């Protein structure tokens, strides 16, 4: 991995983590300090989400001098559903955003396998260089991961409280980081030359 893509990846992950912390902090303040109910607290915290998404896109552009496809996709989803949540005052739109976003990614990745065309190769090709067999395996793993997130999120937001969903969203970032670290061992088996593998988090933003 070259230094520039590695640095950009680290900065993006730091910004994503900061945005998630800010969102959860805003929810906690509105929920417990201001005494708002869960629905209203989520709507108020969505203002932070929208702002954080804009900042993430700006930082990504400044660092890479372009809008990378995956951050652009996740940032776009966050902005669109964030604005809809605020306009319609319906936090369920924010919750279902996670399902739609991960569902779309799962369909695209898993659907590319029979065609032997791997979108991840075009999204991450500058960050890591691995064999086609490696890209196929990575595409399958991440496709299944996104599908699992979609299903679990649907179960959680439809059956649990707002507090539980926010906690789940925070735990999902941790799970994504662990999953990304786990993939390093797979990537190492398929590396081309002497590239240094770096964990690539599958987390797709708020």
**Predicted structure pTM score:** 0.86
At residue 192, the pLDDT reads 79
Cα-based angle 107, 103, 154 (whole degrees, multiple of 5): 150
At residue 199, the pLDDT reads 55
Average pLDDT over residues 15-24: 85
Average pLDDT over residues 15-38: 91
At residue 150, the pLDDT reads 97
Q: What are the φ/ψ torsions at residue 130 (nearest 5 degrees)?
A: -130, 170
Average pLDDT over residues 51-70: 80
Among the residue ranges 84-98, 170-184, 192-206, the one predicted with the least confidence is 192-206
Is the pLDDT at 2 greater than 60? The verdict is no
Is the pLDDT at 89 greater than 90? The verdict is yes
CA atoms within 13 A on the CB side of 150: 15
Average pLDDT over residues 128-144: 91
Identify which has the larger pLDDT, 65 or 92.
Answer: 92
At residue 205, the pLDDT reads 55
Positive or negative, the CA dihedral 103, 77, 202, 126 is positive
Is the pLDDT at 10 greater than 90? The verdict is no
């Amino acid at each position: 991995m070259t230094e520039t893509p590695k640095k950009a990846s680290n900065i993006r992950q730091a910004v994503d983590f900061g945005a998630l912390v800010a969102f959860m902090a805003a929810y906690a303040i509105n929920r417990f300090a201001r005494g708002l109910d869960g629905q209203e607290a989520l709507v108020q915290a969505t203002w932070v989400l929208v702002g954080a998404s804009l900042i993430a896109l700006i930082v990504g552009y400044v660092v890479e001098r372009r809008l990378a496809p995956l951050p652009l996709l996740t940032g776009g989803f966050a902005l669109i559903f964030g604005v809809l949540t605020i306009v319609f005052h319906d936090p369920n739109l924010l919750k279902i955003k996670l399902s739609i976003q991960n569902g779309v990614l799962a369909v695209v990745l898993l659907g590319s396998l029979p065609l032997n065309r791997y979108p991840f190769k075009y999204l991450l090709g500058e960050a890591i260089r691995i064999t086609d067999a490696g890209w196929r395996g990575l595409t399958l793993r991440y496709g299944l991961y996104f599908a699992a997130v979609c299903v679990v999120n649907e179960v959680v937001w439809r059956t649990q409280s707002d507090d539980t969903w926010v906690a789940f969203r925070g735990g999902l970032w941790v799970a994504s980081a662990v999953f990304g670290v786990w993939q390093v061992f797979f990537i190492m088996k398929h590396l081309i030359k002497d590239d240094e593998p770096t964990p690539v988090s599958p987390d797709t933003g708020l």
